[in-house]
């Protein structure tokens, strides 16, 4: 009996201790611990939530590799702090008046990390490697190069002669590129990793990209350590042409997939940067983070959109009025304030802020006022829609989302709003990523969670998604008028006309048909140590550490 | 004895074969493929990838080809981590898990036995009570709770150790502590009860009566007999620690094999899933196999032949 009492006491002590420890953190206030040695060492510590599968620019296709490749390589151009293309390996360029021909003049002092000069031939070699149908494994992002004349045909074996593809090295320092269509965003696209040059020595060594010893790159940093599952380290490249502007000596990346660990590690001073795009701060920690680390919290709107999509071939969402009713009957501000808590902007359109328009951003030039939240109107539309379809009660509705704490919370909140505002009970179902993707692709759902981030800085990346022949159109939406608008914009070099097409397309998609239910435009949520400066988050939420420094 | 071992070994091979076959077909039955992503790859490129990895063939053809490959010791290359051999990834990441696991095992055995001995020697005294309360706590608190707690206190708040990573010797302290708490508790209780039993045995009384000194009694008789049950527990514990470190690896950001296992399933990295499953399978079966043999060696009461098996 005495023992039991002692045990209870001890357990109580443990519980009280934990609670007290929790209280202690509140009093601490004023921010996280500083990384004292940072300023003189200029070593940046960050975390990647997943190990990049490869550092071969041709094979990469994920945001982790994106961040690291951006440190190790440089394309023809790079993006500055306003996401505008500025000279990279190319010193200057000429664009023909019809927008089809680009001549890049490469700088003569651009070098590989082993001292070899970077030439126009390296670009031709790299791009041919991406497009070659015999490259193993087949580069998944080869289609990013399809803007180049003949590239798609060559990649799909409809043409075997690479000299017919619109890319030529006229001499060591001049690269000539001919495009299929005038593509106003092509210049910015050459900063993307699929367009990076690759050292020609790699053709004899298929494992070159997995080993720091054989890795030759042309960017501000070179890969110096890669311990599988443990650590990746890049160090300053002495041969980089602009190395006087590079102040960091080293960037060390740990590999933990737990957001809680990453945050805890940041608080302890072990990390200098935490959060997106390479990690995620758990939403349940947001209130505490906002309170304690407000000076280090960096919330930046980025060009991605979080939305639900309707399967327009499935009952009851084959009816536009019912779709509209569902879209009107939720309170986006409430979701943003209470669930995601990162100051995201409620979305009523599909193109997020930050995406370039005619002169300024598309979203500032064209407001997303395609519909409003209106519970009475929603109920009315639902009744009308049900009458049109001859329903007395609505068929059962299920909302599917891929497993994640955040998606789950949002889904439950939305379902609750539908219940309250429309009187409709919606089941929510959480599915494993692969299963979820398969169900969405095969139109085996009614409403599904989705998100889209841009491949390049132009509204086209949001609109070519929903054309009838798009491989990513997984809502069953087929509309001739919409297709015509997108192909018109694709072929046109008149930017004002293109934007006009996009506005019409967006109106059709959201206002007229409401095949999508936009929820919010993302913000990039990151914690940055106060003495770390010069970290650039671009329009798409990509992060550039190359010009960062500690003061 | 030889027949016993051969018999066990044969059953091990059969179980391994069943494991491989079941995993292979179940894995193929999950929707998805290694190349899926939110942004769909054009169908031509997708088809080329499937062909390059032999995934365009019927599942049974893939199955027999896989059996043939592993028979020659070829586990293939990872479908997600391009151009990296499955065996290389397994060996690299397992070395981290193994280091962590072995240290945890050694620490658990040493501290566990010490604690158990002290408790037994000071039976019903303060030391006994404290040790046993610690042991109850150790068994009752799940390792991931303990891990988060000590990570928060010693890593984030006090800053004595790194919150995550696995670089220096100091980085071992927290994960090892989290991983060994439970086995320490278990071993301590095991040692205590068996030592108590031994301490009251007649031959100890005889030894005392003979006038042997205390140290000699302890080392020659008490400890040797007292830790026998611990020896039999070490086998299953080793397997438990090495496979059970998944959560701990996750919390402390350690690139062990547990993390690889979880990720390769999400990625549908077929060759990797098979490789890690077989690796774990062999590891567990070997641990079991060795335990079986050790049982026999330690305790002759376990019959080898005759009677009913089992």
- Summarised one tens digit per residue, pLDDT across range A338-391 is 999 999 999 999 999 999 999 899 999 999 999 999 999 999 999 999 999 999
Q: CA Rg, chain A, in Å?
A: 26
Q: How far is CA A167 from CA A97, A455, A547, in A?
A: 18, 21, 31
Smallest Cβ distance to B81: which of A53, A257, A433?
A53
Q: Does B32 touch chain A (CB under 8 A)?
A: yes
Provide the ipTM.
0.81
Chain B residues whose beta carbon lies within 8 Å of the beta carbon of residue A136 = 52
Q: Which residues contact B278 (CB under 8 A, 6 or more apart)?
A: B16, B19, B20, B70, B75
How many Cβ pairs closer than 8 A exist between chain A and B?
Answer: 168
Q: Reduced to 3 states, what is the DSSP secondary structure of residue B119? A: helix
Contact indicator for A490, A463 with CB cutoff of 8 Å:
no
Q: What is the rounded CA–CA span in Å between residue A19 and residue A397?
A: 42
Contact call for B137 and A50, based on CB within 8 A: no
pLDDT at B26: 93
Q: Rounded to the nearest 5°, which phi and psi values hold at B103? A: -60, -45
Q: How far apart, in whole angstroms, are the C-alpha atoms of residue B255 and residue A229?
A: 4
pLDDT classification of B310: cutoffs 50, 70, 90? very low
Flag whether pLDDT at A470 surpasses 90: no
Closest residue in chain A to residue B38, using alpha carbons only: A437
Put simply, whether A203 touches B (Cβ < 8 Å) is no
Token pair for residue B151?
């990570």
Which tens digits make up the pLDDT trace of A489-548? Answer: 988 888 999 999 999 999 999 999 999 999 999 999 999 999 999 999 999 999 999 999
- A37: pLDDT strictly greater than 60: no
- What's the mean pLDDT when you consider all of chain A? 90
| DSSP reduced 3-state for A191 | coil
- A268: contact with B, CB 8 A cutoff: yes
Nearest to A264 among B88, B93, B156 (CB): B156
* Cα gap B51→B68, rounded to integer Å: 19
Cα–Cα distances in angstroms (integers) from residue B257 to residues A157, B98, B145, B249, B288, in the given order: 40, 9, 21, 9, 20
Indicate the pLDDT class of residue A9, thresholds 50, 70 and 90. low
Q: How far is CA B220 from the centre of its chain?
A: 32
pTM for the structure as a whole: 0.86
The CA distance from A506 to A351, in Å, is 8
User: CB of B32 within 8 A of CB of A434?
Assistant: yes
Number of other CB atoms surrounding residue A204 within 10 Å: 7
In chain B, positions 39-68, which contact chain A (CB-CB < 8 Å)?
39-45, 48-49, 52-53
Nearest to A192 by CA among A461, A527, A491: A461
* Helix, strand or coil, per DSSP, at residue A234: strand
Say yes or no for a CB contact (<8 Å) between B253 and A255: yes
Q: Which pLDDT score is estimated for B298? A: 65
pLDDT at B164 over 90: no
User: With 70 as the cut, is the pLDDT of residue B83 above it?
Assistant: yes
Give the pLDDT mean for B210-221: 81
CA distance B30 to chain A (A): 7
The stretch A46-58 carries a mean pLDDT of 91
Query: Which of A207, A261, A306, A441 is the best residue to mutate to test the B interface, defined by the most B CB atoms within 10 Å of its own CB?
Result: A261
Query: Hey, are the CB atoms on A228 and B251 less than 8 Å from each other?
Result: no
* pLDDT at residue A13 in the model: 54
Of the partner residues A11, A18, A255, the one whose CB lies closest to the CB of residue B255? A255
What is the rounded CA–CA span in Å between residue A537 and residue A278?
12
């Amino acid at each position: 009996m005495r023992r039991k009492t002692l045990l209870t006491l001890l357990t109580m002590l443990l519980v009280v201790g934990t609670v007290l420890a929790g209280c202690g953190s509140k009093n601490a206030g004023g921010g996280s611990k500083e990384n004292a040695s940072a300023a003189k060492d200029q070593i940046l510590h960050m975390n990647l939530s997943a190990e990049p599968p490869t550092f071969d620019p041709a094979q990469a296709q994920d945001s982790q590799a994106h961040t690291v490749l951006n440190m190790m390589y440089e394309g023809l151009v790079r993006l500055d702090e306003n996401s505008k293309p500025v000279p990279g390996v190319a010193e200057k360029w000429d664009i023909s008046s019809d927008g089809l021909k680009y001549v890049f003049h490469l700088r003569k002092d651009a070098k590989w990390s082993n001292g070899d000069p970077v030439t126009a031939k390296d670009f031709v070699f790299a791009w041919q490697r991406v497009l070659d149908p015999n490259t193993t494994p087949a580069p998944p992002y080869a289609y990013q190069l399809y803007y180049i004349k003949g590239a798609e045909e060559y990649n799909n074996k409809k043409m075997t002669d690479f000299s017919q593809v619109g890319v030529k090295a006229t001499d060591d320092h001049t690269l000539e590129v001919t495009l299929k269509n005038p593509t106003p965003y092509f210049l910015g696209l050459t900063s993307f990793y699929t367009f990076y040059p690759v050292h020609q020595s790699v053709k004899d060594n298929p494992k070159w990209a997995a080993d720091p010893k054989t890795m030759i790159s042309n960017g501000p940093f070179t890969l110096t350590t890669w311990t599988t599952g443990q650590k990746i380290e890049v160090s300053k490249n002495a041969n980089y042409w602009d190395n006087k502007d590079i102040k960091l000596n080293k960037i060390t990346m740990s590999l933990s997939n737990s957001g809680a660990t990453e945050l805890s590690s940041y608080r302890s001073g072990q990390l200098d940067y935490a959060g997106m795009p390479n990690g995620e701060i758990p939403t349940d920690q947001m209130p505490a983070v906002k309170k304690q680390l407000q000076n280090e919290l960096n919330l930046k709107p980025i060009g991605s959109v979080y939305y639900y999509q309707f399967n327009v071939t499935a009952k009851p969402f084959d009816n536009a009025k019912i779709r509209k009713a569902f879209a009107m009957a939720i309170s986006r501000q409430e979701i943003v304030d209470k669930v995601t808590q990162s100051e995201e902007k409620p979305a009523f359109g599909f193109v997020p802020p930050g995406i370039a328009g005619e002169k300024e951003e598309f979203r500032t030039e064209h407001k997303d006022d395609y519909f409003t939240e209106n519970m009475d109107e929603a109920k009315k539309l639902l009744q009308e829609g049900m009458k049109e379809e001859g329903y007395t009660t609505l068929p059962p509705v299920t909302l599917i989302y891929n497993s994640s704490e955040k998606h789950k919370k949002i889904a439950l909140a939305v379902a609750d709003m539908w219940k309250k505002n429309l009187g409709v009970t919606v089941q929510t179902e959480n599915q494993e990523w692969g299963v979820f993707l398969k169900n969405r692709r095969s139109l085996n759902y009614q409403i599904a969670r989705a998100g889209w981030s841009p491949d390049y800085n132009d509204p086209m990346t949001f609109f070519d998604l929903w054309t009838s022949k798009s491989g990513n159109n997984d809502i069953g939406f087929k509309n001739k008028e919409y297709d015509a608008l997108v192909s018109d914009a694709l072929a046109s070099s008149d930017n004002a006309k293109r934007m006009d097409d996009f506005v019409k397309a967006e109106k059709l998609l959201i206002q007229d048909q409401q095949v999508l239910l936009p929820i919010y435009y993302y913000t990039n949520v990151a914690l940055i140590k106060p003495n770390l400066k010069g970290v650039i988050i671009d329009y798409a939420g990509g992060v550039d550490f190359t010009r960062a420094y500690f003061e | 004895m030889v027949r016993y071992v051969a018999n066990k070994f044969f059953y091990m091979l059969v179980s391994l074969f069943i494991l491989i076959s079941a995993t292979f077909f179940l894995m193929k039955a999950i929707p998805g493929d290694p190349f899926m992503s939110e942004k769909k790859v054009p169908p031509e490129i997708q088809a080329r990838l499937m062909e390059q990895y032999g995934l365009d063939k019927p599942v049974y053809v893939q199955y027999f080809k896989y059996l043939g490959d592993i028979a020659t010791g070829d586990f293939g290359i990872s479908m997600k981590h391009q151009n990296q051999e499955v065996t290389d990834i397994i060996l690299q990441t397992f070395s981290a898990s193994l280091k962590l696991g072995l240290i945890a095992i050694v620490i658990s055995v040493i501290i566990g036995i010490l604690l158990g001995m002290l408790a037994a020697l000071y039976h019903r005294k303060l030391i006994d009570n404290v040790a046993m309360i610690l042991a109850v706590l150790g068994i009752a608190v799940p390792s991931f709770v303990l891990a988060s707690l000590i990570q928060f206190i010693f890593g984030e708040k006090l800053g004595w150790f790194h919150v995550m990573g696995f670089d220096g010797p100091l980085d071992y302290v927290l994960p090892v502590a989290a991983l060994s708490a439970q086995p320490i508790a278990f071993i301590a209780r095991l040692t205590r009860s068996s030592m108590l039993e031994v301490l009251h045995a007649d031959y100890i009384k005889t030894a005392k009566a003979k006038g042997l000194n205390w140290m000699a009694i302890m080392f020659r008789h008490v400890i040797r007999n007292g830790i026998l049950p611990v020896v039999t527990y070490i086998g299953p514990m080793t397997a438990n620690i090495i496979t059970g470190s998944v959560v701990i690896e996750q919390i402390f950001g350690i690139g062990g094999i547990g993390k690889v296992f979880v990720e390769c399933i999400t990625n549908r990295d077929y060759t990797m899933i098979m490789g890690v499953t077989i690796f774990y399978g062999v590891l567990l079966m070997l641990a079991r196999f060795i335990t079986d043999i050790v049982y026999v060696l330690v305790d002759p009461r376990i019959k080898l032949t005759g009677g009913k098996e089992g």
